[in-house]
Amino acid sequence: MPNSKNLVFFVLFTILFLRFRVDSFHGTARISSVHIGAVLDLNSPMGAMIELCLSLALSDFYSIHSDYKTRLSIHTKSAEHELDVASAVLEMLKNEEVHGVLGPQWSKEATFVAELGARAQVPVISFTAKSRALSHSNSTYFVRTTPDDIYQVKSLAAICQGFDWQEVIVLYEDTEYGNIFFSKLYKAFQEINIHLSYISAISTSAEDVDLTKELNKTMEMYTKVFLVHMNIALGHRLFVLARNAGMMSEGYAWLMTDSLSNFLTSVDTSPMEGVLGLRPHVPQSKNLENFTAKWTRNAFFGKPAIMELNMYGLWAYDTVWALALAIERILPLNSDLPKSRQGELNISDISNLRVSQLGRRILTELLRTKFTGLSGEFHLVDGQLQPSAFEIFNVIGTGDRTVGYWTPDRGISKNVSSIGESTYSTSRNELRAIMWPGDTLVAPKAWGIPATRTLSVGVPHIKGGFPEFVNVQTDKSTNQSHATGFSIAIFRASLPLLPFKLNYEFLPYEDDNTTHNGSYNDMLVKLQDQEYDFVVGDVTILATRANIVDFTFPYTESGIVMVLKNKRSINMWIFLKPLRWDLWLTIVIACIIIGIVLRILEYEETTDTNTITWRQPREQPGLFCWFPIAILAFPERNMVANIWSRFLLVVWLFVAYILMQSYTAKLSAIFTVDQLHFGFSDDSYIGYQSGSFVKDYLINDLKFNESKLKDYTTIEEYHNAMTLGSVKGGIDVIYGELPYMKLLMHKYPSQYMIRGQPNKTYGDGFGFAFPKGSPLVIHFSRAILNVTQSTNLTKIEHDNFGAGYPSNQDLKINPDNPNLEAYNFGGLFIILGSSTIIALFFSKTSVGRNITSMVSKYGRKCSTFLFRAKDHESNPTNQAKGSPSEAVNESQNNTNISNTNVEAVPSPEPSTDQGEANESEPTNTDVISSGLVEIQLSESRNVETPAEPNK
């Protein structure tokens, strides 16, 4: 084998020597040689690989461009540590008069070398460094022929966005390069709201025990997406340990950067099966195939520790070509290279470095160089290589498969070609099928609850009031807590709607301090300290609380409302309320007085035969009691005959009209306006819930005096205080959160009302609280929306608050009496119904008719007695005579007149039973006389009047 190697090198040397001699023999112009230094760790596999790429690049370039008049002469120095690198560069600048430096191999060494290049004015060209901290803008003579990591970070963000991964765990190597990469990653993910739930910086010298410890920490977390950025040696060990821990199974997603993917050909990739990786895209070409074959042949005869060809070797190859093209353009034919300015160089005195006269020109031409190399388009912008695309690949077995591409202008796509739409895409549909860990084609959801873990759910234990929302009972024998209430019911109804199974247990929070802002703020601080996984209860969503925890969507209405006590209670006797008792009594007395006056006026009736009165007061003395009321319902002209009676009735109707209108207006006010009036002054006291943030709202926003505020905990305390009022040591108004106040109004219907619209400045309803960035927030929010927008919410409310709970009520007025109902006028209808029943009883039943006849009989006797007494008083002559014959004559005359007017009245037939007829005769006469009393009295007057002039 050694003889074969020597033979190959001898043949190559002979060919190159003969070609050089031939060119010289034909008299070609003298070739100018430009010295370039290269600093590599030749003892490392990567250093050996790059050295071979540099050598092949020189031979390939000048074999194609044999007519070029310049030649690069690369002086390679081996250096393993930073001090060795600095010494090697200084030596090349001093002794070999290099006009450029290739390398160093690692980013941590590039900073010092870049400073040396700037002092000597020679370009330092790196094909491995990708940190923006080492850029052309920071150091003029520093050039990177690698793309900036910012593009890789954007491609990683696009992938996470496409798979809707909101949580990512980052594991990276704790080096300068790793820290700079992480800072870019954090910024890019923050811009698209992807949360880094856990970050672990792992030392490059970490042992397997340290790696296992970090993996165990992540196994207890919800997030199942891992992003790995570290060197190949450390990264490969990490994946082996992750596979042993069961973390390369279904439900997990792993991403790796090109710091790993560029070296996969050098390691066993079976522990990484299912991993999604990124690497710069290398377009396939004939030149690449030829170079790969040539490199393989030369590597076979090279150093045994050489690494497989990767992207860094291709970048080194293209860098040599770009440098050779640039040098050829700056040197004219037959020109001599300018000499460097001589100076005394002292290694310990870096400030006395020799300044290159060619370095600036090489740098200028290098930045302008464009060509198509093995790695793709070589184009430097701001001193760094512009990437064409990143390849997204999937590790399968011991190989990999390309599933898509990412480009800066088009995002994710199936093909690298730019043909088609130019819109930026982050859709995962643009990727081919991916085999994920666990041999599944289903994309992981990026979160998951460990099967062996039970989540601790914080609930308020000591809660003074409103147990309808949260009520926690602890079994002392088992120390198990059982929670009930509306908030707990919403939580349990949300669990079946989650896309995963949740194991949980309630952990009650106990706090004796229930003063300022209550114990909920303290409980949320415990949540921030990770003592709870999340908190369930009637926790109000506040802006101040949202700074330390994340809330779900609210499951109740929001806002602070003012609750007042109804001024008047509306009952069936409400129609009596508009007028006070003295006014009702005055109206009754006025009716009686007006009736008496009308009787007196109507008694002196005109003798005009054309005037017929409705009733004769002589025959119906009780008419004056209700006549003023009857005139309102029967306003016929002939109800009264006297002109002064009519005048009096006009006045009475005017007064009655005003009374009716006033009564109607006042009754309307009772149902509407009066319900909105309430007594509220500077002496009034205000109630609020004990330990609530409402106190801050009353003091800071509404500027109430703290001495006028009283705190309560239960609904009963609120009700008792409102019943007493401020005068008796209670309160006149309540300020509270809408869900609580609706419960108060539900328990005491028709007694309270909400005034005005809810103030939503403070609070946004009740919600569940989670630690900042918890992936459970979005899933619980979606589940809560489904619960609150379904019919199941009504059942939950009725189960916890009782039937009839006002889910959708008008907040401006009392929802229990929005309109007038029959009940509001129940008393009036009772009176009317009672009157109807009484009238039917006395007119349609035998008992009622007998009672009516008896009362009528005694009424007529009383009337006859009164009128006879009055006639005797007015006619002393008749009183002195007292002749019964006159009475008989008067009766006969009345009978004749009656017979004259009632011609068609038939005579009653005699009864077959003579005894009964004789016995009932007086009664029948009385009945006939009573039935025709109106017409008889009226006609008798009309008959007697014409006879007066003949006397």
pLDDT at 736: 87
pLDDT band at 677 (very low <50, low <70, confident <90, very high): low
Mean pLDDT of 128-150: 78
Q: How far does CA 507 lie from the centroid of its chain? A: 26
CA-CA distance, 637 to 631, in Å (whole number)? 10
Neighbours of 905 (CB within 10 A): 11
- The pair of three-digit structure tokens given for residue 648, joined into one six-digit string: 């009096």
Q: Using one digit for the tens of pLDDT, what is the confidence trace for 242-270?
A: 999 999 998 899 999 999 999 998 889 99
| Of 614 and 352, the one with more pLDDT | 352
SS3 937: helix
- How far is residue 927's CA from residue 921's CA, in Å, rounded to a whole number? 10
Say how far apart CA 506 and CA 491 lie, in whole Å: 12
Q: 165 pairs with which residues across the strands?
A: none
The number of residues in the chain equals 951
What's the pLDDT score for residue 133? 57
CA dist., res. 134 & res. 384, Å (int): 10
Q: How many alpha carbons fall within 13 Å on the CB side of residue 284?
A: 2
**Residue 589's pLDDT is what?**
82
pLDDT for position 62: 94
Burial class (CB in 10 A: 0-12, 13-18, 19+), 581: exposed
Give me 951's structure tokens: 């006397």
Q: Which three-class secondary structure state does DSSP give residue 283?
A: coil
Mean pLDDT score of the chain: 77
What is the rounded distance in angstroms from the CA atom of residue 883 to the CA atom of residue 656? Answer: 50
Handedness of CA 78, 83, 89, 91 (dihedral sign): negative
The set of residues, in sequence order, having a beta carbon less than 8 Å from that of 527 and lying 6+ positions away, is 458, 534, 535, 549, 769, 770, 771
Q: How many CB atoms lie within 10 A of CB 354?
A: 18
Residue 595 pLDDT: 75
Q: 74 has which bridge partners?
A: 36
Give the pLDDT confidence score for residue 57 in this predicted structure.
Answer: 95
Of the pLDDT bands very low, low, confident and very high (cuts 50, 70, 90), residue 817 is very low
Q: Quick one: pLDDT band at residue 276, thresholds 50, 70, 90?
A: very high
- CA distances 378 to 106, 144, 192, 383, 454, Å, are 21, 11, 31, 12, 55
CB atoms within 10 A of CB 411: 20
Distance between CA 75 and CA 92 in Å, rounded? 8
Pick from 278, 285, 310, 250: which is nearest to 402 by CA?
278
Average pLDDT over residues 587-597: 77
pLDDT of the residue at 116: 86
Q: Tell me the β-bridge partners of 101.
A: 37, 124
Average pLDDT over residues 643-652: 73
pLDDT band at 936 (very low <50, low <70, confident <90, very high): very low
Diameter over CA atoms, the chain: 191
- Calpha distance 195→815 (Å, rounded): 46
SS3 752: strand
**Whether the predicted pLDDT of 941 surpasses 80:** no
CA distance 355 to 349: 14
Using one digit for the tens of pLDDT, what is the confidence trace for 383-434? 889 888 999 999 998 889 999 999 988 899 988 875 655 688 888 888 999 9
The proportion of the chain whose per-residue pLDDT surpasses 90, expressed as a percent, equals 27
CB atoms within 10 A of CB 149: 21
pTM assigned to the model: 0.59
Give the helix/strand (H/E) hosting 457: strand 455-460
For helices 715-724 and 738-747, the axis angle rounded to 10 degrees is 70
Residue 602 in contact with residue 642, Cβ under 8 Å?
A: yes
Distance CA 597, CA 581 (A): 24
Spatial distance between the Cα atoms of 319 and 309, rounded to a whole number of angstroms: 16
922 or 270, which is more confident: 270
Q: What is the pLDDT of residue 940?
A: 40
pLDDT bucket at 487, cuts 50 / 70 / 90: very high
Q: What is the pLDDT of residues 728-773, one digit of tens each?
A: 888 988 998 888 888 888 888 777 878 777 777 777 889 999 988 7
- Dist CA 541 CA 554 (whole Å): 8
DSSP 8-class letter at 27: T
Whether the per-residue pLDDT at 211 is higher than 50: the answer is: yes
Q: Which of 747, 811, 800, 750 lies closest to 555, judged by CA?
A: 800
